[in-house]
Structure 1
Amino acid sequence: MRICVFGAGAIGGLMAAKLAAKGDVEVTVVARGPHLAAMQANGLRLRSGGQDTVVHPRCVGSAAEAGVQDYVVVTLKAHALPGAAPQMQPLLGPDTAIVSAVNGIPWWYFYKHPGGFEDHRVASVDPDGKVWEMLHPSRAIGAIVYPAAEVAEPGIIEHTYGDRFTLGEPDGSRSARVNALSEALIAAGFKAPVRPKIRDEIWVKLWGNLAFNPISALTGATLDVITGDPGQRQVARDMMLEAQAVGEKLGVRFGIDVDKRIAGAAEVGAHKTSMLQDLERGRPMEIDALLGVVVEMAEMVDLPVPTCRTVLALVRARGRSAGCYSG
């Protein structure tokens, strides 16, 4: 089995390191800059659970060097995918699967969707339909990322918690390809269940991200503060209820209620969301894939989402002023 991790930052590096350590999967990492140079010189080091492991997957700077793969795991931010799709073409053979480990609503979301919007392109994450055409959703396997990790320094991944990657086919089937991927991840030490309704789980994760991420970018607050402060908590709750109505209109079933989801975020503690980290480091912010897409879908199903619209306008303005969002 040939697995390529395209964009091997924190999460991609974690997956690549554990797969490579198992030894029975041919792992290739596509990366760039000092991170690539460090991995080529010294291997990929994973610090996890008090253990320090060094592995030596094949590390290259381009898809052309990697060649055709069985699976391509995409761990980029959603806004980077349209630019990366042309670069990924050398990885793709007739049967290559693309494992979409990207936050927010993915480009393939309405492929095989059991409703009136089948094959609708989501403009917030695929503005001109390029990703749909170049990475056709028939290749897509959904993946929900739960671990937390960071690139401590070039070539070194620090894994702090979590070991689950939930997988699912857009049509809900238990295909041979998704089962084989699940087995490979489980053998590497992950939990990798295959779910028939992957969109439900996409929304449960998005549910918190669409509220806590932009609020944190606007206030500078960590999760414990957002969930503990009555005013910020109420804004988050209002956003989440608006989004829940949109998701349910599209056929999504939320397995927990909003207050339990907020309580789960509170348990994480003094954690800076990814959007706040991006803002502080001057990196592009993942605004549209997490919140813009919810407003877009609300328009599709003709539902008002006033709190989401207000926060979206504010966080976009904040991102533009910081040079971290261009629309």
Structure 2
Amino acid sequence: MRICIYGAGAIGGYLGAQLSLAGQDVTLIARGPHLKAMQEHGVRLLIDGEERVAHPVCTDDPSQVGPQDYVIVTLKAHSVPHIVEPMQSLFGPDTAVVMATNGLPWWYFYELEGPWRDRRLESLDPGGVQWDGIGPERVIGCVVYAASEVSEPGVIRHLKYNRFTLGEPSGEKTERVRRLARAFIEAGFRAPVRGIRNEMWVKLWGNVAFNPISALTQETVDTIARDPDTRAVAKTMMLEGQAVAEALGARFSIDIERRINGIEAVGAHRTSMLQDLDKGRPMEIDALVTAVQEMGRMVDVPTPTIDVILALVRQRARVAGAYPQD
């Protein structure tokens, strides 16, 4: 299979190296010193106490790559609209696009049974750039449970977890999603095929609360979960998010206290939103929080605590230059 990974940083580089080593025809789209190092020395993957070196094609020019069987997008959600145009050269008539981004996706309502079928989310896809330019019919959903880092240009260090849950928006176990899952499994990943929207909500359930609270308090997730005051705020936000999700037909397979305890057990983890704030990088506020607020208003479910925390974290991000002013 021809697989292009668009955004070959920590997660994309980890995926690409393993798939390449398993014999897939992989191309990585990257940039800067990281790209140069991968072009010169291959992708060095530090995993399970050993170093593995993969040599996929590495480039910053998608137009030189040609049509792919799968394009796996591992950028942050707010970066995707900017790559829709250059992605076009990667598309053939049957190319699938795997959206391995955090938070709720722009295609969430595609073919979703009910009154909101094919509704577009302005907070995630202003002007419908992704809906029109990628097309929801190409999409395979992906929920990432993996942690890795770019320890230096060209070097990916795998930290923990290796699960990439896959699913069609329709819920069908099509040949294209089963074929991709087999390739992931052969490369050493866990890749269950499931109802992807429920999976997305379970992961988002923690992110909608713990990410913005961590950015506002500068604390790690274990501290937030242990402190009675911040735990209570997080739980209230999660209950609001659950009510929105269930109004849209999603179901949660675990208890909220168990979910919070699981987050606490992660330990002194600095959320991605806090890390981005510290470095002045754009923060994933819209995919993790704003979209929940937008959906709540659609289904007439109030989200008062989410609204307050969202307003505060937006202002904090704007002051840091990590969120658009307009």
- TM-score band w.r.t. shorter chain: over 0.9
> Equivalents in 2 of 1:260, 1:65: separation in Å?
48
> Equivalents in 2 of 1:126, 1:236: separation in Å?
27
Cross-structure match for 2:264? 266
Q: What amino acid maps onto 2:318 in structure 1? A: R
Native 8 Å contact 1:29 1:58 kept in 2: yes
> Equivalents in 2 of 1:52, 1:227: separation in Å?
35
> Equivalents in 2 of 1:31, 1:102: separation in Å?
16
> Equivalents in 2 of 1:88, 1:257: separation in Å?
40
Q: CA deviation at 1:257?
A: 1.4
Q: What amino acid maps onto 2:204 in structure 1? A: L
Query: How many correspondences in the alignment?
Result: 325
Q: What amino acid maps onto 1:320 in structure 2? A: R
Of the candidates 212, 230, 238, which is equivalent to residue 232 of structure 1?
A: 230
Structure 1 residues without counterparts, runs of 5 or longer:
none
Q: What amino acid maps onto 1:231 in structure 2? A: D
Q: Deviations over 1:134-193 (max 9, x none)?
A: 010000000000000111111111110001100000001111100100000000000101
Cross-structure match for 1:16? 16
- SS of equivalent residue, structure 1 residue 86: helix
Give yes or no for the alignment of 1:159 onto 2:169.
no
> Equivalents in 1 of 2:32, 2:87: separation in Å?
18
> Equivalents in 1 of 2:188, 2:219: separation in Å?
33
Cross-structure match for 1:275? 273
Q: CA deviation at 1:101?
A: 0.2
> Equivalents in 1 of 2:269, 2:78: separation in Å?
23
Q: What amino acid maps onto 1:5 in structure 2? A: I
Cross-structure match for 1:6? 6
Give yes or no for the alignment of 1:119 onto 2:125.
no
- SS of equivalent residue, structure 2 residue 113: coil
> Equivalents in 2 of 1:123, 1:261: separation in Å?
29
Q: Deviations over 1:39-79 (max 9, x none)?
A: 00110011111111111000011211111100000001010
Task: After TM superposition, list the pairs within 5 Å mapping 1:79-228 onto structure 2.
Answer: 79-195=78-194, 197-228=195-226
Of the candidates 291, 294, 300, which is equivalent to residue 293 of structure 1?
A: 291
Q: What amino acid maps onto 1:230 in structure 2? A: P
> Equivalents in 2 of 1:62, 1:325: separation in Å?
27
Q: What amino acid maps onto 2:228 in structure 1? A: P
Cross-structure match for 2:320? 322
Q: CA deviation at 1:114?
A: 1.6
How big is the alpha-carbon RMSD for the aligned residues of Structure 1 and Structure 2?
0.7
> Equivalents in 1 of 2:48, 2:239: separation in Å?
36
Native 8 Å contact 1:30 1:66 kept in 2: no
With the length of structure 2 as denominator, give the TM-score of the two structures: 0.99
Q: CA deviation at 1:127?
A: 1.1
Native 8 Å contact 1:72 1:91 kept in 2: yes
- SS of equivalent residue, structure 1 residue 221: coil
> Equivalents in 2 of 1:105, 1:115: separation in Å?
18
